[in-house]
Every structure is written in structure tokens, then in C-alpha cells.
Amino acid sequence: MSQAVGVSELLAAARAAPGFMPDDEGRALYEAARSVAVPGPLLEVGSWMGKSALYLAAAARETGRQVVTVDHHRGSEEHQPGWEYHDPSLVDPAVGRVDTLPHFRRTIADAGAEDVVIAVVTRSETLAPLWSTPLALLFLDGSHTEESARRDQDAWVATLAVGGTLAIHDVFPDPADGGQAPYGVYRRVVGSGDFQELPGTGSLRLLRRLR
């Protein structure tokens, strides 16, 4: 597809892409990214096969920003053999490990978003100490264990510009609905007093950094 593909086409591609984000939450992420008032790139932690990256890409296309995605592309704990979301077709037989990077690249390329999406293939905590550009939007959607979710919070929230937007996915106050690690991140961020909560959608929580 042409690199000139428009916002509506990117949103349609996001809806059709493989992944776990409902369209109403994806549209809310897009709206949050397109409306953020401070300069800077959009960065997501945890990309899977690129669905949420396309919602962010639509906002980036509209506002002249870039999207940076950070993922080791070896899958989270729940994607490993014997776990709930394991898909054997995603295992690279040469190394015997999950590898979602080829699928991610195909998703971004097929949507015509390669000019606005920059993929960094590493662990989130490896990149964070090297990062110096204040972020306009930070989207946390990485591994959902308590340890890794806290690690992503500690590594990246400080890089968000004042006035920037923090988006946290899979926030479930009721343990019966889902894991509690992202909810813990959300509670800690709200409790810091440094953020103002914005209207969210479904399991997506949005907050603006005040200081």
C-alpha cells in the first residue's frame, strides 16, 4: 500500500488486524493520541502483532508525529507453551520460541504505516535508560505479571511530558474480569497525585500528567 494511506484506512486496518484490543478501546486510544496537546512522539510498550500500533499510527498520521513500539516479540507469559493464549503457529522452529516480529512487520506494512511506526525490538527496561525525548503519549500494554508491569511503570512513566497522556490497557478492578497487574499500575499512578484521570473506555484508562 502507498505510504500516503489516510487516517480512515489506517483505522480500518487496525480493526481488521489480529490482536486483543476491542475497537471501542482502540478508537479511544486513537482519540487520546490525536488530541494530546504537547509535542513529542507516541510510544507503546507491548505490540504483539501491531493492532494497537495502527490506532496510534492513525493519530500520528493526522498530527505529524511518530509512533515508537517497544517489544521483544517473544510473547508474554500467557503466550508461552502450556498457557492460555499460546499459538503454536507463532513459534519459530529454528529457535523453539515465539516470534511475533514478522507478523507485526506484515501488519504495519500491509496497512501502509511503515513511515510513521518505528519498531524497537528489545525489552522495555533495556531501552528506557537510553531514552531522552519527552513523550506526548505513553501506552502501557506489555506483559501483565506484577513484576513486569511494575518494571514498565518504573522505566517509562517518568519519560512522559507534563501535559502528556498515559494510557494503560487491561485495567480490571474486579479480579474475575482479568489480571490485576495493570490495575495495580493504574492505582499507583493515580495515588501519586501527579496525574488527572480522563474518561476511559472499557479496560483502557487514560490519565494526563500534571507535574
List, for residues 89-117, the tens digit of each pLDDT value: 777 777 767 899 999 999 999 999 999 99
What's the pLDDT tens digit per position in 3-23? 568 999 999 999 999 998 999
Over range 48-64, report the average pLDDT: 97
User: Phi/psi at 100 (nearest 5 deg)?
Assistant: -95, -5
Cell reading at 65: 508525529
Annotated catalytic residue: which of 72, 73, 144, 169?
Answer: 144
| Band of residue 65 on the pLDDT scale cut at 50, 70, 90 | very high
Which residues are CB-neighbours of 169 under 8 A, at least 6 positions away? 21, 25, 52, 139, 140, 141, 182, 203, 204
Domain ranges within the chain, ordered by starting residue: 7-209
DSSP notation for 3-63: TT--HHHHHHHHHHSSSS--HHHHHHHHHHHHH--S-S-EEEE--TTSHHHHHHHHHHHHH
10 Å Cβ neighbour count for 61? Answer: 23
What's the length of the chain? 211
Class (C level, CATH) for 7-209: alpha beta
Q: What is the pLDDT of residue 86?
A: 66
How many CA atoms does the CB half-sphere of 78 hold within 13 Å?
A: 11
Q: What is the pLDDT of residue 145?
A: 87
**84 to each of 31, 46, 75, how far by Cα in Å?**
31, 18, 12
Annotated catalytic, 144? Answer: yes
| Band of residue 2 on the pLDDT scale cut at 50, 70, 90 | very low
| Band of residue 87 on the pLDDT scale cut at 50, 70, 90 | confident
| Band of residue 40 on the pLDDT scale cut at 50, 70, 90 | very high
The rounded distance, in Å, linking the Cα atoms of 158 and 177 is: 29
Where are the strands (E) in the chain, listed by range? 42-45, 67-70, 91-92, 97-98, 117-120, 135-140, 160-168, 195-201, 204-209
What's the pLDDT tens digit per position in 106-156? 999 999 999 999 999 999 999 999 999 999 999 999 888 899 899 999 999
Q: What is the pTM of this model?
A: 0.92
